[in-house]
Amino acid sequence: MADEQIPTIGRCYSCKRAFHYRLASVVTVAIDPETGLPPGMTVLGTFREPAPEAEARAVREPICPACVDRARRFEESTQPSALRLDP
């Protein structure tokens, strides 16, 4: 688990900017590599119950703090939100 304390440079999935993060504390979002969208989210931006296979192939992509802030503000103004952010 020591690796998780090493700061990593990654690219924010949302805004594509490079930023430093720690694996142990970075906010990630599940992305289905086939659609480039969170599992269950359609290209129209609507949300439906994700298919189990979409959940299974989804990968966690890091999100920078600026985008997390934006997503949280967006969540407060529109419910329910399609983006599910995990701390």
Q: Is the Cβ–Cβ distance between 60 and 30 less than 8 Å? A: yes
CB contact at 8 A, 22 and 14? no
User: Which CB sits closer to Zn ion, 14 or 35?
Assistant: 14
List phi, psi (to 5°) of 37.
-125, 160
DSSP annotation of 59 reads E
Choose between 12 and 26: whose C-beta lies nearer to Zn ion: 12
**Measured between alpha carbons, how far is 71 from 87 in angstroms, rounded to an integer?**
13
Closer of 54 and 64 to Zn ion (Cβ)? 64
**Contact pattern for Zn ion over residues 2 through 41, marking x by CB under 5 A:** ----------x-xx--------------------------
Task: State in angstroms the smallest separation of the CB of 56 from Zn ion.
Answer: 26
Main-chain dihedrals φ then ψ at residue 21, nearest 5 degrees: -155, 165
Q: Which stretch binds Zn ion (CB under 5 A): 23-31, 32-40, 66-74, 76-84?
A: 66-74
- Interface residues with Zn ion (CB under 5 A)? 12, 14-15, 64, 67
